[in-house]
Amino acid sequence: MRRDAGKGEMGMRKVSRIQEVRSFLREASGRSIGLVPTMGYLHEGHLSLLRRSRKENDVTAVSLFVNPTQFGPGEDLEAYPRDLERDLALLEREGADLVFAPRPEELYFPDASTWVEETRLASGLCGASRPGHFRGVCTVVLKLFQIVGPTRAYFGEKDYQQLQVIRRMTRDLNVPTEVVGCPLVREPDGLALSSRNTYLSPEERASALRLSRCIALAREAARGGQRDARSLRETARRHLEEDPRIRVDYLELVHPETLEPLETLDGEGRLILAAWVGKTRLLDNGTLCPEAGR
Ligand SMILES: Nc1ncnc2c1ncn2[C@@H]1O[C@H](COP(=O)(O)OP(=O)(O)OP(=O)(O)O)[C@@H](O)[C@H]1O
Ligand SMILES: CC(C)(CO)[C@@H](O)C(=O)[O-]
Ligand code: BAL
């Protein structure tokens, strides 16, 4: 890489080997590196992280890796949508400097016996429904941090619990990377962008709008003075359960950092949920504030 490379000026480099990442980035020494970890099948949510990284760093690396260790038995590892050619074209257009798309054998030794586990924030919500999920996420994210050595790493608030778990893991293990949380990007009608939206039939797509709508209803109730967490949760849950295509996995009002369930909305709270729409499990979340007008 030339000394003045970065910000996509030199064209994008696509690699699949750890050594290639290391030799590319060795030449970036002294410059800031932003990392955007993804599982591919990119959409505007991912691209918002990439754009933020390009603004804040000299060099931006994106990983494309459907990480097997965060999927449980019976989950959609095989079916997970993939389109490498399309992803590469988008990344090139957006000015990524480096794309790391390894095969599972490149990242995991067949006899790997070391795992990274955050034990508090990861235990409830998605962690309760998907045992082992965050262990797989933390392990692969720490591995990516070790490979890339990013100054900053970008994660979306769409996966709100994941963001908090990674923040904690990074703090607890003294990883010298700043974890940057980025706002949830929605379709114009409110649906949170997600690679898994591609699984939805048109009818399910219409039902899925209830996820963002139920958060808006709870937010209106909070603005109207409702502080009781049970009542706010019930407002949201009722809206989801009116639709027979939806099955709520969990729906909680939690403290935005500790993810502890709230009884009363005294300060800011996060309404956070996972729900099955047909056979597709989707996430959504949003802020609730007691003050009127926020
Ligand atoms: N709508 C979104 N807004 C902001 N960030 C997002 C959005 N969707 C995904 N991201 C972020 O992009 C990163 C990579 O996510 P991932 O590749 O799993 O995509 P995804 O759309 O969340 O897929 P899935 O369908 O598996 O949930 C994560 O940090 C995730 O939070
Ligand atoms: C952070 C991540 C890339 C780790 O595989 C994944 O969980 C995701 O895409 O959110
Ligand atoms: N962004 C979420 C990754 C997963 O569901 O495994």
Instruction: Based on the residue annotation, tell me whether 239 is a catalytic residue of this protein.
Output: no
- The span from the CA of 288 to the CA of 160, in Å, is 14
Distance CA 285, CA 162 (A): 12
What are phi and psi for residue 275, nearest 5 degrees? -145, 145
- Ligand closest to the CA atom of residue 40: 1
Q: What is the pLDDT of residue 28?
A: 87
Assign a CATH topology to domain 13-182: Rossmann fold (3.40.50)
Q: What is the pLDDT along the chain (294 residues), one digit of tens a residue?
A: 544 456 656 689 999 999 999 999 998 889 999 999 999 999 999 999 999 999 999 999 999 999 999 999 999 999 999 999 999 999 999 999 999 999 999 999 999 999 999 999 999 999 999 999 999 999 999 999 999 999 999 999 999 999 999 999 999 999 999 999 999 999 999 999 999 999 999 999 999 999 999 999 999 999 999 999 999 999 999 999 999 999 999 999 999 999 999 999 999 999 999 999 999 999 999 999 986 544
- Determine the pLDDT at residue 27: 87
Distance 55 CA to ligand 3 centre (A): 25
How does pLDDT run across 248-287, given as a tens digit for each residue?
999 999 999 999 999 999 999 999 999 999 999 999 999 9
d(CA 15, CA 98): 8
CB 20 within 8 A of CB 106: no
Nearest alpha carbon, ligand 2 atom 3: 38
pLDDT value at residue 3: 40
ipTM over 0.85: yes
CATH code: domain 195-288 is 3.30.1300.10
The domain locations on the chain are 13-182, 195-288
Indicate the burial class of 144 (C-beta count within 10 angstroms; 0-12, 13-18, 19 or more). buried
Three-state DSSP at 288 gives strand
The binding-site residues of ligand 2, defined as CB within 6 angstroms of any ligand atom, are 37-39, 67, 70, 137, 140-141, 159, 162
Which of these, 162, 172, 178, 164, lies nearest to 67 by C-alpha position?
A: 162
- Whole-number pLDDT of residue 11: 87
